[in-house]
Amino acid sequence: MSPGIGLMDRRLKIEKDAVSLAMSGVLKKYKTESEKIKTLETKYDDDAGDWYVALGWEEKCVIVKMDSVLAEITEIKEITK
């Protein structure tokens, strides 16, 4: 049996770690330059244990959802500006 989310140690403990992982995922998927990407908003969901980071560059915006325990991106969703 594995412990619940509240008992597991989070790998993405701070906002800076979540933004770094989100940037890395966006750079790999969209082949853009890191200098062009701006952090628009960050949010941590206490109930689910997920980080949400909104990033924007040129005419694109994305929301990156990450699991804070596993430290992996679970979804990258494009949104319209």
33-68 per-position pLDDT tens digit: 999 999 999 999 998 889 999 999 998 999 999 999
Cβ-based neighbour number of residue 51 at 10 Å: 26
Reduced to 3 states (helix: H, G, I; strand: E, B; else coil), residue 18 is: helix
Q: What are phi and psi of 3, to 5 degrees?
A: -70, 155
- What pTM did the predictor assign? 0.85
Domains: count for the chain? 1
Residue at 2 is within a domain: no
Domain for residue 1, yes or no? Answer: no
Residue at 32 is within a domain? yes
Segment (H or E) for 54: strand 50-57
Counts of helices then strands in the chain (DSSP H, E): 1, 4
Q: pLDDT tens digits for 2-39? A: 555 555 677 888 999 999 999 999 999 999 999 999 99
75 DSSP β-pair partners: 65
CATH number at residue 55: 3.10.450
